[in-house]
Amino acid sequence: MMVTATASQGGLKSHLSIDGGVGLSGVMTVSGAKNSALVLMTAALLTNEPVELCNVPDLTDIQGMGAILEALGVSVVRSPNSLKLTATHLKSSEPPYELVNCLRASFFSIGSLLGRLGHARVPLPGGCRIGARPVVEHIRGLKAMGAVVNVNHGLVTAALPGGLKRLKGASIVLDCPSVGATETLLMAAVLADGTSTIENAAKEPEVQDLANLLNCMGAKVSGAGGPVITVEGVERLHGCSAYSVIPDRIEAGTFLMAAAITRSTLRVEPVVPEHLNSVLQKLRDCGCQLEIDSVGITIRPGEIKAVDVITQPFPGFPTDLQAPFMALMATAQGTSVIAEKIYENRMQHVAELQRMGASIRIEGSTGIVEGVPRLSGAPVTGSDLRASAAMVLAALAADGTTQVSGLEHLDRGYADIEAKLNQVGASVRRQQS
């Protein structure tokens, strides 16, 4: 698989040096959705024919998933923006620990490996900085479809019991609308014998994207995007050419907030506005004008006023934009209350924002943010992907120069971030630490 310069830089110890207080103008281009692309890649395991994905972002996470698939025997060919994945001869059903450990979404391959091969052994993803992130819902659903699943020594082993050739369709009610569990079970159900229903399913756009790809491959999935997904199992799936990944709604939201925090008029495209309704509403509520057309959004921020936010599953406000929105609120007029309801430990950006002069108090998983007139540049470190994005936004608005470290996180989810920002007038340099 081709490794490009931008993403490979994530492996080196480097930082972004950002001169703040510079107005932005122009158009910011949104890449394909990381969280969709990662899961669509694992769907390629379900067929022996090539699956071609376009609009795939150039990210270290995508490279990591490519390496995992290659270890399983998949041919992975990358050309600019697209990936051709061919899983004709799988040589293993055991993604290697050292690769899975770095990439939680790779655990979701357990559903497609089980559906295709009848067995899989996948390391449990570790906890991560933002919370425990269990996979019990994935396992419960696979068991309901007839798999024998054991967890031993950090490995999840799933297999069809003797005599069974395919998983069995089942009615599954999720305890919580987990995105990953919904995707894992969807991929397991498409090749199962009979009809499956997944109730209390995640409604995120990435789940819809997966269902659309699976249907292009010959699956029979209906209801994705709603609370109940129905899957009529089929005996085999075929390949698919030029399936285009949806635009990344989290990257788009981050760029809209970059405009708001620098009080700059910007155009952000391509965007599917319905994927961002809760975010657009909050941006309007805090004083931004939005012009929405079929391709993108032009944002014209006014005086930014404080608004409250509670993170929720889609279509609520996404947890992945909580940290960037908090950076924006740190510069707003008034006090906002930002409640994190998805992850128990997703407030680590607060201490770093405080180093830049933000006034934030934490009570449990809630941040109470009193806006200040100016943030000030300082050396800061992003502790996870979206915390790093929050640091970049704060830096764009701060007086002086900010040094943002922790790029190994940022490069997982934001393709070409400095080039995209510099193109609209920001002053961002990647430097060796």
Least separation in angstroms between residue 323's CB and ligand UD1 is: 11
Quote the tokens at residue 193.
Answer: 């014998």
The dihedral through the CA atoms of 309, 313, 319, 324 has a sign that is negative
> What is the spatial distance between Cα 26 and Cα 44, in angstroms, rounded to a whole number?
37
Stretch of 6-14, 86-94, 115-123, 135-143 contacting ligand UD1, by CB under 6 A? 135-143
Q: Is 128 a catalytic residue?
A: yes
Kindly give, in sequence order, each residue whose CB lies less than 8 Å from that of residue 84, ignoring residues fewer than 6 positions away.
Answer: 50, 51, 52, 75, 76, 77
Q: If binding is defined by CB under 6 A, does position 418 make contact with ligand UD1?
A: no
> What is the spatial distance between Cα 160 and Cα 362, in angstroms, rounded to a whole number?
47
| Angle ∠(71,72,78) on CA atoms, nearest 5 | 65
Q: If binding is defined by CB under 6 A, does position 186 make contact with ligand UD1?
A: no
Kindly give, in sequence order, each residue whose CB lies less than 8 Å from that of residue 82, ignoring residues fewer than 6 positions away.
Answer: 52, 53, 54, 55, 56, 242
Q: What is the DSSP string of 325-336?
A: HHHHHTTSBSEE
133 or 168: CB nearest ligand UD1: 133
104 or 300: CB nearest ligand UD1: 104
What amino acid is encoded at 188 in this protein? A
180 or 296: CB nearest ligand UD1: 180
> What is the spatial distance between Cα 396 and Cα 421, in angstroms, rounded to a whole number?
9
| Angle ∠(179,181,186) on CA atoms, nearest 5 | 95
Among 206, 340, 384, 418, binds ligand UD1 (CB under 6 A): 206
Q: If binding is defined by CB under 6 A, does position 12 make contact with ligand UD1?
A: no
Stretch of 131-139, 152-160, 209-217, 401-409 contacting ligand UD1, by CB under 6 A? 131-139
Least separation in angstroms between residue 433's CB and ligand UD1 is: 27
Question: Which residue is at the shortest CB distance from ligand UD1?
Answer: 180
Least separation in angstroms between residue 136's CB and ligand UD1 is: 4
Q: To which residue do tokens 């490009």 refer?
A: 4
Stretch of 134-142, 220-228, 278-286, 414-422 contacting ligand UD1, by CB under 6 A? 134-142
104 or 168: CB nearest ligand UD1: 104
9 or 312: CB nearest ligand UD1: 312
Catalytic member of 54, 102, 128, 176: 128
Stretch of 156-164, 176-184, 287-295, 387-395 contacting ligand UD1, by CB under 6 A? 176-184
Whether the Cβ atoms of residue 56 and residue 32 lie closer than 8 Å to each other? yes
Residues in contact with ligand UD1 by the rule CB under 6 A: 35, 38, 104-105, 131, 133-138, 176, 178-181, 202, 206, 318-320, 342-343
